[in-house]
Amino acid sequence: MEALALERKAEQHRELKERIAQLKKERNAIILAHYYQRDEIQEVADFRGDSFLLAQKAASTDAEVIVFCGVHFMGESAKILAPNKTVLIPDERAGCPMADMVNVDGLRAMKKQHPNAKVVAYINTSAEVKSETDICCTSANAIKVINSVDSDEIIWVPDKNLGDYVSKFTDKKMIIWEGYCNTHDMLTVKDVEEMKAQYPNAQFVVHPECRPEVVKLGEFVGSTTAIIKYCKESDCQEFIVGTEDGTGYQLRLDSPHKTFHFATKYLVCPNMKVNNLKKVVKCLETNSPQVYVPPHIADQARASLERMLQVK
């Protein structure tokens, strides 16, 4: 019975993938998928990447329609950078708790308290927050962005864990908001130590959204893209992975002969996982849900995103 169910599921996936390919051609659409998406979503994506790579793709694509398989702020960023494109997200419920931890009123109050500071916002923020920001960043380029800013004082929002990590690579004064990623923040020192005891030959690679005491244990610390690249190029054959489990798809694809253990079974972002193939088909068929950003907010937010993309 189980084998039959798996066969039916595989056949359903094949049919949905064929339909997606047909609809993409009809609509002149591309699918952008974050590394934290389900395997089935990453399989049909035209581009897989982290927030930075996908922002670059959104800004440069010739497609008329962008289907953004990620969370809502990513769809907003795509719409801001490609205002003349139709941007669809398969499920509007795909939010980001970290992004919700900072709001415009709170940020404005902090700016008044520190009038000489420049605001650097992690891309994991709403369009409204980006509109109050001097420059955005991702985990892939956060250190470069911070050091590019013409100010000795930085208001950093919203991730305190990434902010703590970045602060070690700059002499600037960092005023750090108290937000965090629910998923990465779950990982504890105890989890990592238990995995290291179980797999003594494995290297621990970790995302800087994890707690500072966890990040200290990493043999390699970096963004999702950096972790994937490091594991591919490393001579090590076994890794303990300290980031969201969807990353396993690209890790296994790039390094099929290497072994990957996720540092805890709880490294799953439920918001990233709400998307599936049926929802991708439906959004392409119905041309909805569409991402909308009010023009006055988009214009202000676009400047902060474009400044980020210009940092080399």
Q: What's the CATH number where 217 sits? A: 3.40.50.10800
The annotation status of 77 as a binding-site residue, yes or no, is: no
The annotation status of 184 as a binding-site residue, yes or no, is: no
Q: Is 294 domain-assigned?
A: no
Residue at which a domain ends, from 139, 154, 180: 180
Average per-residue pLDDT for the chain: 95
pLDDT in tens, 31-86: 999 999 999 999 999 999 998 889 889 989 999 999 999 999 999 999 999 999 99
Q: How confident is the model at residue 312 (pLDDT cuts 50, 70, 90)?
A: confident
As a whole number, mean pLDDT of residues 87-105 equals 95
Work out whether strand 47-49 and strand 220-221 pair parallel, antiparallel, or are unpaired. Answer: unpaired
The count of other CB atoms within 10 Å of the CB of residue 102 is 23
Number of structural domains the chain divides into: 3
Q: How confident is the model at residue 123 (pLDDT cuts 50, 70, 90)?
A: very high
Q: Is 291 domain-assigned?
A: no
The annotation status of 96 as a binding-site residue, yes or no, is: yes
Same domain, 13 and 83: yes
The annotation status of 210 as a binding-site residue, yes or no, is: no
Same domain, 86 and 60: yes
The annotation status of 51 as a binding-site residue, yes or no, is: yes
Encoded amino acid at 110, one letter: M
As a whole number, mean pLDDT of residues 286-290 equals 96
Q: Is 303 domain-assigned?
A: no
The annotation status of 296 as a binding-site residue, yes or no, is: no
β-sheet bridge partners, residue 137: 122
Same domain, 79 and 103: no
Same domain, 14 and 91: yes
Q: Is 41 domain-assigned?
A: yes
Q: How confident is the model at residue 9 (pLDDT cuts 50, 70, 90)?
A: confident
The annotation status of 72 as a binding-site residue, yes or no, is: no
The annotation status of 124 as a binding-site residue, yes or no, is: yes
The annotation status of 236 as a binding-site residue, yes or no, is: no
pLDDT in tens, 199-223: 999 999 999 999 999 999 999 999 9
The annotation status of 13 as a binding-site residue, yes or no, is: no
Residue at which a domain ends, from 125, 146, 180: 180
Q: Quote the CA–CA distance of 194 and 230 in Å, as a whole number.
A: 23
Q: Quote the CA–CA distance of 270 and 273 in Å, as a whole number.
A: 5
Q: Is 18 domain-assigned?
A: yes
Q: Quote the CA–CA distance of 265 and 194 in Å, as a whole number.
A: 13
Residue 254 near residue 228, CB atoms below 8 Å: yes
Q: Does an H or E element contain 23, and which?
A: helix 2-27
Q: Quote the CA–CA distance of 83 and 90 in Å, as a whole number.
A: 19
Q: What is the pTM of this model?
A: 0.94
3-class SS shares of the chain: helix, strand, coil, % to 5: 50, 15, 35
The annotation status of 181 as a binding-site residue, yes or no, is: yes
Same domain, 90 and 106: no
Whole-number percent of the chain with pLDDT over 90: 93
Q: Is 305 domain-assigned?
A: no
Q: In 3D, which of 117, 37, 48 has the Cα closest to residue 70?
A: 37
pLDDT in tens, 232-285: 999 999 999 999 999 999 999 999 999 999 999 999 999 999 999 999 999 999
Q: Which domain holds residue 137?
A: 99-180
Q: Quote the CA–CA distance of 237 and 154 in Å, as a whole number.
A: 40
Above 90 in pLDDT, residue 1? no
Same domain, 221 and 247: yes
As a whole number, mean pLDDT of residues 3-12 equals 78
Same domain, 65 and 111: no
pLDDT of the residue at 55: 87
Same domain, 34 and 20: yes
